[in-house]
């Protein structure tokens, strides 16, 4: 039975960590090791790990605090950390259903792929209780099939392309570099760029066998700063411009087919305006509204530098069409 490696980024949520570990202990596939990557200087998670007295549960505090984005990114090392044949990332606030590992290994073997993208059940956390939300991370965007990497890229006009918690891979066969690095400052875009770096065929499995947890915003939650909003919007614009430059009319044609199928033509047209792809048959955004969005996009482009210039230089050798 091959070893499955679980990377678990954690930070100051010991009770949720217990739930995540419990879901591992309940797996039908027993040959796994979990590495708890604690980013808290106070190391609240150490006591949780030690209470299990299980050699499969390893505690690995970061030597210096990385922050949420870098702590998550380090977990996506494509190669094994401790010699595992398979790997995936389970964040401390998420959890698994019992056959998650076994089903994903079966999918990799049966479909002859290096990576599986598993759908995730979305649930609300209400006072520590996981409540159904009746949605999944990938919804109806994909069907059960093996996709070439470039087949996923048109979906980046509409959503994240992949979900971090849904990725499961063969550490020996994978060629994709799943780590984003420090060149992408916008944490919210990690999944999109992880998708962009795929070089392996990937099998989408629609049955949700793991949970993505949503949290209600606290009353005292701090609103994103104007700078953070600008960074997000300029990063999104840069990505759209990159996709349009790299794939041209081909990706626009496929994105239009997806938009018409999913009823999101308005969203696509907004993205095309933001990327200055103006030789297009705009049906939903026209007239004064078209000029308004175009002027906003132009100002954004002129006032703020490209936050991804260094990133694009780095990934030239990592991606393929």
Predicted confidence (pLDDT) per residue in 121-143, tens digit: 999 998 888 999 999 999 999 99
3-state helix, strand, coil in the chain (%, to 5): 40, 20, 40
Length of the chain: 321
For residue 198, pLDDT over 80 is answered with: yes
Residue 83 to residue 183: CA distance in whole angstroms: 28
Q: Could you give the C-alpha distances from 218 to 31, 203, 224, in angstroms and in order?
A: 39, 37, 13
Ordered by where they begin, the domains of the chain are 4-215 (3.90.550.10), 230-315 (no CATH)
The mean per-residue pLDDT over the stretch 92-116 comes to: 99
pLDDT digit string (tens) for 57-75? 999 999 999 999 999 999 9
- The fraction of the chain above a pLDDT of 70, given in percent, is 96
Place of tokens 């049906």: 283
**What is the percent of the chain where pLDDT is above 90?**
87
Q: What is the pTM of this model?
A: 0.94
Residue 309 has pLDDT above 80, yes or no: yes
């Amino acid at each position: 039975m091959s070893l499955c490696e679980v990377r678990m980024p954690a930070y100051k949520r010991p009770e949720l960590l217990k739930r995540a570990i419990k879901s591992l202990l309940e797996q039908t596939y027993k040959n796994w090791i979990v590495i708890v990557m604690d980013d808290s200087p106070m190391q609240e998670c150490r006591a949780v790990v030690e209470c299990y007295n299980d050699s499969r549960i390893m505690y690995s505090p970061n030597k210096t605090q990385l922050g949420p984005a870098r702590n998550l990114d380090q977990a996506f090392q494509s190669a094994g950390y401790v010699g595992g044949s398979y790997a995936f990332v389970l964040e401390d606030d998420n959890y698994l259903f019992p056959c998650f590992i076994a089903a994903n290994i079966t999918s990799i073997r049966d479909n002859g792929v290096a990576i599986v993208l598993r759908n995730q059940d979305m649930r609300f956390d209400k006072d520590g209780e996981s409540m159904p939300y009746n949605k999944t991370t990938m919804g109806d965007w994909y069907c059960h099939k093996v996709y070439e990497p470039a087949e996923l890229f048109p979906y980046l006009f509409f959503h994240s392309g992949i979900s971090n918690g849904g990725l499961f891979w063969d550490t020996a066969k994978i060629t994709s570099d799943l780590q984003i690095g420090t060149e992408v400052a916008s944490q919210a875009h990690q999944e999109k760029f992880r998708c962009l770096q795929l070089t392996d065929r990937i099998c989408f499995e629609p049955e949700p066998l793991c949970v993505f947890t949503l949290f209600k915003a606290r009353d005292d939650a701090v609103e994103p700063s104007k700078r953070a909003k600008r960074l997000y919007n300029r990063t999104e614009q840069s990505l759209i411009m990159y996709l349009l430059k790299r794939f041209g009319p081909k990706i626009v044609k496929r994105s239009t087919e997806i938009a018409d199928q999913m009823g999101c033509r308005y969203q696509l047209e907004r993205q095309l305006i933001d990327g200055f792809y103006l030789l297009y048959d705009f049906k939903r955004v026209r007239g004064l509204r078209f000029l308004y969005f175009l002027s906003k996009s132009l100002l954004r482009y002129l006032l703020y530098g490209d936050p991804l210039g260094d990133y694009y230089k780095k990934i030239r050798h990592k991606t393929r069409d």
